Amino acid sequence: MDYYFHTERLSVGYQGKPLVKGIEIGLKKGEILTVIGPNGAGKSTLLKSIARQLKSVGGAIYLEQKDLADMSGTALSKRMAVVFTEKMQTELMTCEDVAATGRYPYTGRFGVLSKEDRDQVEEAMALVHVEQIKDQDFSRISDGQRQRVMLARAICQEPEVLVLDEPVSFLDIRHKLEFLSVLQELREKKQLTVIMSLHELELVKIVSDKILCLRGEYVERYGAPEEVFETDFIGRLYGIDRENFIKNEKLLAYARQIGQMPGTKLRT
């Protein structure tokens, strides 16, 4: 099958040592892929490798059948944008300034923004609903707003693929939902293909088209939500040990409940 974005026997890791091996992802244009798995399973490593922040240890990543490794930095930057979790220290930058850095691949020798660039920035900020705070200092806004400005920045790059590392981890429930809703809106409007990692399993079930489960050195599972989630699965993926919950069955039940897809009955 011809996928829009796919990987072949991709191995990712640091300094030539693979952390996760044999990753096979296949995505159609406009699909949302979510990567889940316990801490340290290599989610960020995978995302960084896809975004070419890290050299992959083996295998290849293809975007429309073209090997990502063969693309120039500028060519890739016009097709793929990223939102990372790392906290940034900006100096005297308004939210608009931050978003406008996404226009970098399109500006001239000295990076001066043209009228069209400015319009693009404005449109991107409107899309993620941060146009009211565009003149505020980026270091003084809330975490929720910050993530959305970073999303606007990514949209300014006019990407086809968006890579996000735990984009909602530090947000409260309202902002988590709002952020994910904006992402889905973008997928509708711009046919964006989204690759992200999430810890919020209930949300993973709702927003993902495909789910990649990482655990240890290999891919535990890859597929649509209904293929991936089943009652015992979450417990197995995250290594939740029954022994630790002998007097606390309620918490254990919670894990089983997450594993269940909406509409099916909990097997007991």
Partner 1 sequence: MEENRIKRQVSAFILLGMGVLVFVILNICIGSVKISLSEIRSALTGRGSEETMARIVWDIRLPRTAAVLVLGGALALSGYLLQTFFNNPIAGPFVLGISSGAKMVVALTMVFFMGRAVRVTQTGMIFAAFLGAVLSMGFVLVLSRRVNSMSMLVVSGVMIGYICSAVTELVVTFASDAQIVNLHNWSRGSFSGMTWENVRMIVVVVGAAFLLVFCLSKPLGAYRLGESYARSLGVNLRLLRVELVILSSILSACVVAFAGPISFVGIATPHLVKKLFGTAKPLSMIPACFLGGSLFCLFCDLLARTMLAPAELSISTVTAIFGAPVVLWIMTERKRERAG
- Contact residues toward partner 1 (CB under 8 A) are 51-53, 72-78, 80-82, 84, 86, 88-93, 97-98, 101-102, 104-105, 107, 109-112, 134-135, 139, 153, 157
**Shortest Cβ 201–partner 1 spacing (Å):** 27
- The residue written with tokens 């890859």 in the block is 222
CB nearer partner 1, residue 139 or residue 248:
139
CB nearer partner 1, residue 65 or residue 72:
72
Give the integer Cα–Cα distance in Å for 9 and 18.
12
Give the integer Cα–Cα distance in Å for 187 and 193.
7
**Shortest Cβ 125–partner 1 spacing (Å):** 13
**Shortest Cβ 159–partner 1 spacing (Å):** 10
Is the Cα dihedral 150, 155, 156, 158 positive or negative? positive
CB nearer partner 1, residue 16 or residue 110:
110
Pairing of strands 17-23, 5-14: antiparallel
Is the Cα dihedral 49, 55, 58, 62 positive or negative? positive
**Shortest Cβ 92–partner 1 spacing (Å):** 5
CB nearer partner 1, residue 192 or residue 255:
192
CB nearer partner 1, residue 97 or residue 217:
97
Phi, psi of 190 (to 5 degrees): -115, 5
Give the integer Cα–Cα distance in Å for 200 and 169.
8
Pairing of strands 218-223, 210-215: antiparallel
**Shortest Cβ 150–partner 1 spacing (Å):** 9
